[in-house]
Structure formats: structure tokens, C-alpha cells
Structure 1
Amino acid sequence: MKIRTVETYPLLYRLPAPYGDANGLKTFRSTYLIRIETDDGVSGWGECADALETLHKGFHDRIIPALVGQPATDRRKLVRTVKKHHARAASAVGMALSEIAALRAGMNLCDAWGGRFRDKIPVYASFQSYSAGADWQKRSVAAVEQAAAAGFAAFKVKIGGKSVDEDQRHIAAVQAALPGDTRLALDANQSYDAAEALAWRPLLERMPRPLWLEEPLQIKYAAEYGLLRQRLPVPLAGGENIEAAADFLPLLARHALDYITPDPLHVTGIDEYRETLSLARAFGIRATPHAFDGALTRLYALFAHACLEPFGKMQPDAIEPVEWDAMDNPFTRLLPLRPAGGEVAVPGGTGIGIELDTDLLAFYRWDGSRYE
């Protein structure tokens, strides 16, 4: 069973109303999908994210020639090969070859990974809170209210893009708009130093059911995270941009975080992503995936969580939530997967169990023009 073809699907959506986080406003959303097919007609889908120009040239000039003709069963070897060309492209290859292996065995992806512990995974609605204009707080609160009305019980909003005082007024307004039984996470995208992070302590002490404070500091400061964890009254989370399981070790060994937030798009290959989850379990630290940037990637995070052992022995079905992009993003509709009551049912069937919307793939295909 050898790789016969690799098809590429660069997708672009220009946002009619930009939104963003502490790193600035986004004017577009993009993703890059691939479909690998073997010489006996079995195919699997993968996804990665980076500049479309970089990915497209990399795949067609170097990665596809390196894959075609190779055994589709050599997933780890091929992921290592692709990593030399582009680490994030390797994530897409790992996903596609994982689905092919499951399809060849006539198994669901969870069964190919050793079986599932649960059929549903909790998700939280994730927002990019900032927008252009003086009414950005009003727009943000309205979006959160809409998600609450749709059944979400947990939410993540952004801080760090405005002054601490302005951001705290926004968070107070969000809390006032939410039902009392909901939970809230704050994500600073590594915007603060320790002193500014500690300025959030009075508000955090008043939060009724906080989820976590995510990446208040640069994630490389493991010792500082450990000290901050002792002084703040909420759990700390981080690690979405870490690329290898071993690179989480300084944070895990120091118990500097309560949650790690690995992203299947950033950790090189879906196998290493799953190893990262297992490593967190070995240290007794929870793992909640960052999965904002791709619908297929989010599905793989759900599969991995379905197969992950519970974080507490007194709750045999306990599992951390997975991030769900609640912003204007048509790529979420590529898969017929929707939350209900704050949970998502993990698909059955063989492979990933569901089909991508090929009409959307065609409609949003990037035409090669400039988009920034």
C-alpha cells in the first residue's frame, strides 16, 4: 500500500468584520487541507496551518515528491521526513496517514488507537474578544450571550490587548451577562509580566467558577509560572505553541501549570500530540487542547480525548474540555459536527467517521492572490 497522490486544498476567508486577540486583529481566516490517496484507493484527510504561500510551495516543490511512492504504513518515518521541510506540514501528513491506517483495518480511529473511554467530549466556546471601534466590549458581550443561549456552559475570552483596567471592565461585563452556573477562562496570549498578571488577583478572587487563566506570561518562564501559580487563586494554563512533547517537560516537572494546552496543529504529528497528553497524565497535570484554527484538527483533538484515560479515579468519565471556535469562521462547517448541551458526540464509523463538505472546499479555495 503506497502513496499514489497528495491533493492540496488551501482555503481562505476574508473577514467582513476583523476580530482578534492581544496579538492584533485578524482580517482573514485560512487553513490548509491535504488528501492522501494510496494505490489501492484508500484516502485520508489532514490539516495544517501557516502562510498559505509557504505551505503551497513547500508541498508542491518538496513534500509531495517526498511522499509519493512511499509506503503509507510508514507514518512515523514519513512525519519525520516532512518535519525537516516544514514542521507544521508534518501534522497534516500524520493525520491523513492515521485515517488511512484505520480505514485499511476497517476500524474507527478511536479503535485503531486502542479504544475510547467516552463517546462525548465537553467543549468550551472560544472567542477573539477584540474588534475595531469603541463598542468592542458590547460586541464581545453579545457574542458570549449568543453562545450561552446556544447551550455552551463554558467560555474563553481574551485579555491583554487593552489596559488592565479596560480589560477588567470587559470581563466584569461578560460575567454579569452569563448565567451563574457557567464557567469562564481568560487568555492573555503571553501579554504580561508577573506584576501585571498579579494585578488581576482581586478580580480573579471574585470569579465564581473560573476555568483558568491562560498564558499570562511568556511560556518559556517556567519558574515564574510556578511562583505565579502559588499567588493566584485560579488554575494556570498554557503551551499552545510548543512543538514537541519533550518541550513541555520544564513546565510539567516544575508543576508550573494546572493545565497544558497542546495544539495538534503545532505539536509535530498526531502521534506526538497523543504522547503529549499521556505525558501530562504521567505528571498528574490536566490537558485541554488548543484547537482554534482548524475544524479537522479539532476533530482529531476530540478523538484523542475520547481515548485519553480520566484525570481522576473517582470520576471514571472525567475529561477536560476541548476548545471550540465560536467566531465567524466558515471552515467550522467543513465537518457536520456541532455541539449540543456543551458537548460534542465523537463520530463512529470507519476512519474519522464523517465526510468533509467538498462544496465548501471548492468555494473557499485560495486563488493565489495576496490576502494580508
Structure 2
Amino acid sequence: MKIRSASVHHYCLPLRASWLTAAGGFRQREGWLLRLDTADGATGYGDCAPLPGNAAECPADTALRLRRQTHSLIGRQPGDALQAIDHGSRGSTPAVRLAVETALLDLIAQAAGLPLAAYLLACERRTVGASEVSPTVRVNAALGSVAAVHDQDLRAACAARFQVLKLKVGMTAIDQEIGRLQQLARLLPPGVELRLDANCAWGLRDAARFLHACADLPVEMVEEPLARPALKQLQALQDSTGIAIALDESLATLDLEEVLRRRPVRRLVIKPTRTAGLLPALALARRATGAGVECIVTSSVESACGVTAAAHLAAALHNPLAHGLATCECLAADTGTPPAIANGRLTLPCTPGLSFAPHAQVVFSDFAGPDRS
């Protein structure tokens, strides 16, 4: 099953509304949908969607690096190609590596007759069958900024039976946000909780004040509360509250070994686009879980292909937490149909591989082919 050709579809997907956080925002998601075709007719897909604002993966450089990576795959078996990409650097081009790895894993899982989630478990040298992986995962609703969310949006999410509702905080005055959270909390049915993401908005004093004010609210997690996160400060915050504190983007600046050894927070947010692949993300999650730190998987508002891949990762983790994967509704257009979400759960097909298919109107251009020189 040698790789015969590679092609890409460059996309710029508009959002229905600006994606705003305390760290900034964006109005569209740009990326490349990668397709690998084998000589025996199999096709694998991967999503290359650099994080907005990541200077190390600007569009021109990303396209060039993706071309170089895919050209080296032609004529190889997918398994050999997967081993080969691990010899390169993961740090400089994480979105490129994720796309290539996903497409290769898609082909390998298809050949093994396993859904990708089951194959990810098989990669951990366990005897795994498709029936051992649940095809559904809990997901949280993504409702945007606490200052901008409408009561009817919250009611609609509750009616759709989401049990965890995610809101962005740290964008206006703390007292205003606390007041709005108190209003929203009164609308929540029993058992529904809020998940808050501050995107590194506050100093230690403000973060502590915010967490104290949330003590009597149904808040299950606050993500990235500190503008300058340090392990000692994070530990002090976590010790002061029953709310789970989570790390996401600051993992890039903290000593991971110390985070896992000292466990200053209760959760890690794992984004495959940051970890440069599904396999590195799975390895990180297993290490964290083994150290007593919970993990949730979230998308970075990628296209349906990227969200599908992240959903397979979440299914492989097989934990009861709500994952941040209900983001495709934020896009006004997409590259394909994302996994279905109903009653607060995302359902993956039980067919082999990634189970992603692009829309008929998506046009691919040759990116790499047989070397005829």
C-alpha cells in the first residue's frame, strides 16, 4: 500500500462571529486539507491549520514546509513514512506534522480495519478491537464571551442537553463578569455546569478574587487564569478552590516534567495542533493521567477534518470529562461534514480510519507526485 500521490486544498473558512479571547481574536480559519492516495485506491486525510497568530507557521512558510514533508512520502509505505516523520523536529511546524501524521494514521487504521480511535489504542501495544472504544464522547457547548452571550443562547444549549457550557472570561472588568455569571447561573438546570477560559488574563490577586467569587457558582473549571503562570502561584490558586484549574497555552512555557511531578493544577487541555500530532498528544495524556492530572481534548476551531481527528483522540482517552470539540458550528463554511453532536455527545462513525470525507465542491491540487526527473 505505497503512497502514490499527495494533494491539498487551501481553505479560508469564515466564522459566523469573531472568535474573541482575552489574548485577541480572529474571524476566519486558514489552512490546508491534505489528501494522500495509495496505489491500491485508499485515501487518507489530514488537516493543517496553524494556530492564528503563530509567527512560526505563517501561511507562506507552512505551505512550503507541507510541500517538503509530503514530497518525501511518495513511494513509501504509510507505516514507514510515519516512522520517518518522527525523526524531524516537532516544535517548529506542529500543524504540518499533525496533518501528515493524521493522513498516515488514517491510511494505517483503514488497512488494520479499525476506527482511528481504536488504532490509537493499538499503538500503545494493547490488544484492541473496535468494540473496546466508545464511539461517543461528551462535549461542552462553546458559547463565546460571558459579556456577549445571550440568555437564549444558554437556554438553547441546555435544551440541546449539553451539561458543560464554556464561556470566555477575562475580557471585561472582573466584577461585571462575576455579576453576569451569577445571572447566567440562575438560568441553569440542575446538573449543568460552566467551564470558563481566561486565556491568561489576570494577575494572581485578581485570579484569586475571581475564583473566590465563583465558589458558590456551578463552575467546574477555570482555564489559564494567570497572565504569568508559575508553578508556585498555580499551586496556591488550586489549593484555594474546589474548582479545577487547567493549563493550555502556558504549557509551552512551563517545565512539563515539573508540572507532572508537582501537579499544581488538576487538568491539562490538550490540543493536537500544539502537540504536533495525535500520537504525541496521546502520550502526553497518558503521562498526565498516570501522574494524577485529568486531561481534556479541545479543537483549535479547525475544519471538520481536524475536529474529527481530535474527536478520535478524545475517544481513545476514554474518560468521562466533556471535551471541547463542538466548534464546527462556529464556522460559516467547512471542508466536510463534522461528526454529529446530539444530547451533548459527539458520535464517531465505527468505520475504519478517520471516517472523514470532504464536500464534493472541495478541489484538491497536486502537491507532490511521482518523481519523474
Taking structure 2 as the reference length, the TM-score comes to 0.83
Does 2:212 correspond to 1:202?
Answer: yes
Partner deviation per Cα, 1:229-279 (whole Å, 9 max, x = no partner): 1112311111246469x9533222111111111101110221111101111
Cα distance change of structure 1 residues 309 and 111 upon mapping to structure 2, 3 Å threshold: closer
Which residue matches 1:314?
A: none
Residues 240 and 347 (structure 1 numbering): CA distance in 2 closer, same or farther, change over 3 Å? Answer: farther
Of 193-202 and 171-180, more deviation after overlay is shown by 171-180
User: Take 2:40 and 2:289, find their aligned partners in 1: how far apart are those partners?
Assistant: 38
Shift of 1:353: 3.1
* SS of alignment partner, residue 287 of structure 1: strand
Partner of 1:340: 342
Q: What are the equivalent positions in structure 2 for 1:1-372 lying under 5 Å apart?
A: 1-15=1-15, 17-50=17-50, 51-60=58-67, 62-74=68-80, 75-81=82-88, 83=90, 86-113=93-120, 114=122, 115=128, 116-129=132-145, 137=148, 139-207=149-217, 209-218=218-227, 220-240=229-249, 242=251, 248-294=256-302, 295-308=304-317, 310=319, 319-323=320-324, 324-325=326-327, 328-330=330-332, 334-359=336-361, 361-362=362-363
**Does the C-alpha gap of structure 1 residues 205 and 333 become closer, same or farther in structure 2, counting only changes over 3 Å?**
farther
Q: Which residue pairs with 1:315 in the alignment?
A: none
Contact conserved, 1:126 with 1:292, CA < 8 A, in 2? no
Aligned length: 345
- Contact 1:219–1:238 under 8 Å retained in 2: no
Task: Identify if the C-alpha distance between structure 1 residues 350 and 228 changes in structure 2 by more than 3 Å, giving closer, same or farther.
Answer: same
Q: Report the Cα offset of residue 203 of structure 1.
A: 2.2
Verify the 8 A CA contact 1:19 1:26 in the aligned structure 2. yes
Instruction: State the alpha-carbon separation in 2 of the partners of residues 84 and 253 from structure 1.
Output: 23
CA distance, structure 2, for counterparts of residue 98 and residue 247 of structure 1: 29
Q: Is the 8 A contact 1:243 1:268 kept in 2?
A: no
Aligned CA distance change for structure 1 residues 240 and 141 (closer, same or farther; 3 Å): farther
SS at match of 1:322: coil
Q: What is the alpha-carbon root mean square deviation over aligned residues?
A: 2.7
1:117–1:308 CA contact under 8 A, matched in 2: no
Gaps of 5+ in 1: 131-135, 311-318, 364-372
Q: 1:33 to 1:236 in 2, by over 3 A?
A: same
How far apart are 1:128 and its partner, in Å? 2.6
- 1:78 is matched by which residue type in structure 2? I
Q: Which residue identity does 1:13 align to in structure 2? A: L
Counterpart code for 1:265 = T
Cα deviations by residue, 1:107-146 (Å, 9 ceiling, x for unpaired): 222332333342321110123317xxxxx53x44443332
Deviation at 1:326? 6.7
Task: Tell me which amino acid in the other structure corresponds to 2:240.
Answer: R
The residue identity in structure 2 corresponding to 1:69 is G
Cα contact 1:15–1:28 (8 A) shared by 2: yes
By how many angstroms is 1:334 displaced? 2.2
**SS of equivalent residue, structure 1 residue 355:** coil
Tell me what 1:313 maps to: none
Give, as a single letter, the amino acid of the residue that structure 2 aligns with 1:65.
Answer: H
Separation in structure 1 between the aligned mates of residue 88 and residue 75 of structure 2, nearest angstrom:
14
CA contact (8 A) 2:114 2:352 kept: yes
The CA deviation at 1:63 is: 2.4
CA distance in 2, matches of 1:213, 1:52: 32
Q: Which residue of 2 aligns with 1:316?
A: none
* 1:342 Cα deviation after fit: 0.9
CA distance in 2, matches of 1:249, 1:96: 30
Structure 2 residue ranges without an equivalent (≥5): 51-57, 123-127, 365-373
Letter aligned with residue 167 of structure 2:
V
Output the TM-score relative to the length of structure 1: 0.83
Percent identity over paired residues:
21
- The code of the aligned residue for 1:21 comes to T
CA positional deviation for 1:12: 1.1
What amino acid does structure 2 have at the position aligned with 1:67?
L
Q: Distance in 2 between matches of 1:200 and 1:124?
A: 22
My pick for the range that moved more, 188-197 or 113-122, is 113-122
Residues 69, 350 of structure 1: alpha-carbon distance in 2 compared, 3 angstrom cutoff: same
Residues 84, 277 of structure 1: alpha-carbon distance in 2 compared, 3 angstrom cutoff: closer
Displacement after TM superposition at 1:298 (Å)? 2.7
- Alpha-carbon distance change, 154 to 66 in structure 1, aligned in 2, over 3 angstroms: same
Q: Measure the CA separation in 2 of the matches of 1:153 and 1:272.
A: 29
Name which structure has the greater RCO, CA cutoff 8 Å, separation 6+.
Answer: 2
Q: Is the CA contact 2:44–2:106 (under 8 Å) kept in the aligned structure 1?
A: yes
